C-alpha cells in the first residue's frame, strides 16, 4: 500500500506523466545510440534531444552534457576526474576544498582521493544556517592557490535545504584558475541554474529528483574543463564516460526536465506556500520545534525540523505506520546510525541532530498531505519522546 502522505521528495520524486509517457512509448524500441543503422540513429536522436533539454535547463550547450548512470556517478566523475587531470598537469595540485554539507557522492569521493591518491581534503566552514563561509574559503585558497586541484560546493543541501552562493564561490576560485564543481542534484528544478552565468566548470544533476526515472544522471562539463575518465571502454560520452547510453531512460530524463522547468515558477510558489503551511502547523502543535537551514536562502519545498527530546528513528517508524513517508536526513545514508554529519557541521548538538526529521514536498504534494501529517504528528511525537526517555 502506498503512503497516505508522501513527504520524501528529496529522496526521490514520483515520475512525471511526461516521463512516464516517454518510457511507455519507447521501452520496446530497439536501438543502440552508437550504431550507425536506422535503429541506432533513431535511438541517437532520442539521446540528443534529451541532451538539448538538459542543457537548456542549466544554461549549458548540448555538447557540454555528459550522461551518466546517476547523480552519484556524475559527482564521482567530476571530483575524481578533475583531480586526476589537474594533478597530472601539476603534481602540486593535491588539495580538494569541499563544504561540510556535501552529499556522500562528493565527500566520499574526496576522502577516497585522500586515502588512496594522496589528496588533502580541506573543509570550508559554514554558518549555523549552513551557508558557506566565503571568507574562510578565500583564506584556504589564498594559503597556496597553486596547490588547489578543485573546489566542490553543492548548490542546495538535500538535508537542510540551504542554497549556496555559487557565483561568489566561483569569484574566489576563478582568478586562480581553480575549477569549481557543484552537486546540483537537489537544486534542480527549484533553483535557477545557469552554469555559464555562474562560471561553474562542472555541475551534476539526476533524473529521479525532477520526476524522471532512476538510473540516469548527467554531468555538465563547461568549455574545456579537463576530466580523466573513471569508466573506461568505448568512450561513448565525449571520451569522458564509457558505456552504452540508455536512450529510453535518457529520453524520459529530458521530458521530465522540460516539464519541471516549464512549471518551475508556479511550482516554487505553490511549494513554498505548502511548506509554510506545514511549518506553521508543526510549530502550532509543538512550539518547541525548530527549523534547520537558512530561512532566507532555502529550497521552497523542504523543511528540516528539530523536535527536542524526540527519537527521530522511532518517529519515522511511527509515521510510516500511519502512512506518512518522510526521513531523518539523506536517504543515501539509510541504515547508518548516529547523527547526521551535515547537521553537526551547522553547530547542532548531537541530541538535536538525532531528533531531526526532514519533510520534503514536490510536484505531487497537496494540502491533504500536509493535513495527514499534522493529524498524526502529536501522537507520534508523544510516543517517540517516550521512546527516547526509555532509550529504546
Q: Closest by alpha carbon to 4, among 379, 384, 370?
A: 370
> Rounded to 5 degrees, what are φ and ψ at 92?
-70, -20
Strands 356-360 and 302-306: antiparallel
Residue of 134, 171, 332, 376 with catalytic role: 332
Alpha-carbon span 22 to 255, nearest angstrom:
7
**Matching residue, cell 521530465:** 256
Residue 332 among the catalytic residues = yes
The rounded distance, in Å, linking the Cα atoms of 43 and 45 is 5
The CA distances from residue 133 to 142, 165, 178, 231, 336, in Å, are 14, 10, 18, 34, 28
Exposed e or buried b per residue across 13-37, where buried means at least 16 C-beta atoms within 10 angstroms of its C-beta: bbbbebbbebbeebeeeebebeeee
Query: Could you give the CA distance from residue 73 to residue 83 in angstroms, rounded to a whole number?
Result: 15
Inter-residue contact 311 to 328 (CB < 8 Å):
no
Quick check: 163 and 299 in contact, CB under 8 A? yes
For the annotated catalytic residues, the residue numbers are 332
Amino acid at each position: 500500500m502506498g503512503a497516505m502522505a508522501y513527504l520524501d521528495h528529496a529522496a526521490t520524486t514520483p515520475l512525471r506523466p511526461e516521463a512516464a509517457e516517454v518510457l511507455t512509448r519507447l521501452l520496446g524500441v530497439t536501438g543502440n545510440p552508437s550504431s550507425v543503422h536506422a535503429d541506432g540513429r533513431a535511438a541517437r536522436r532520442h539521446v540528443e534531444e534529451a541532451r538539448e533539454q538538459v542543457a537548456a535547463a542549466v544554461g549549458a550547450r548540448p555538447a557540454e552534457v555528459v550522461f551518466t548512470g546517476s547523480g552519484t556517478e556524475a559527482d564521482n566523475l567530476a571530483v575524481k576526474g578533475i583531480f586526476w587531470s589537474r594533478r597530472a598537469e601539476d603534481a602540486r595540485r593535491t588539495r580538494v576544498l569541499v563544504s561540510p554539507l556535501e552529499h556522500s557522492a562528493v565527500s566520499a569521493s574526496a576522502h577516497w582521493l585522500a586515502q588512496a591518491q594522496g589528496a588533502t581534503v580541506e573543509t570550508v566552514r559554514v554558518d549555523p544556517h549552513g551557508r558557506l563561509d566565503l571568507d574562510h574559503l578565500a583564506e584556504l585558497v589564498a594559503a597556496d592557490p597553486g596547490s588547489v586541484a578543485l573546489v566542490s560546493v553543492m548548490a542546495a543541501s538535500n538535508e537542510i535545504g540551504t542554497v549556496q552562493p555559487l557565483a561568489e564561490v566561483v569569484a574566489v576560485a576563478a582568478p586562480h584558475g581553480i575549477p569549481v564543481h557543484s552537486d546540483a542534484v537537489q537544486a534542480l528544478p527549484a533553483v535557477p541554474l545557469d552554469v555559464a552565468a555562474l562560471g561553474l566548470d562542472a555541475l551534476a544533476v539526476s533524473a529521479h529528483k525532477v520526476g524522471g526515472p532512476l538510473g540516469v544522471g548527467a554531468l555538465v562539463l563547461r568549455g574545456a574543463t579537463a576530466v580523466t575518465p573513471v569508466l573506461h571502454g568505448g568512450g561513448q560520452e565525449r571520451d569522458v564516460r564509457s558505456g552504452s547510453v540508455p536512450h529510453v531512460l535518457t529520453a524520459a530524463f529530458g521530458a521530465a526536465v522540460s516539464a519541471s522547468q516549464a512549471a518551475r515558477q508556479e511550482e516554487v510558489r505553490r511549494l513554498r506556500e505548502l511548506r509554510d503551511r506545514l511549518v506553521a502547523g508543526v510549530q502550532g502543535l509543538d512550539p518547541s520545534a525548530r527549523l534547520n537551514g537558512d530561512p532566507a536562502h532555502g529550497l521552497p519545498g523542504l523543511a528540516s525540523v528539530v523536535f527536542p527530546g524526540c527519537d527521530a528513528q522511532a518517529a519515522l517508524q511511527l509515521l510510516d505506520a500511519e502512512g506518512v513517508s518522510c526521513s531523518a536526513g539523506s536517504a543515501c545514508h539509510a541504515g547508518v546510525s548516529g547523527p547526521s554529519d551535515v547537521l553537526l557541521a551547522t553547530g547542532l548538538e548531537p541530541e538535536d541532530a538525532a531528533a531531526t526529521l526532514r519533510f520534503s514536498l514536490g510536484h505531487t504534494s497537496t494540502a491533504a498531505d500536509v493535513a495527514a501529517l499534522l493529524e498524526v504528528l502529536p501522537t507520534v511525537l508523544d510516543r517517540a519522546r517516550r521512546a527516547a526517555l526509555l532509550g529504546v
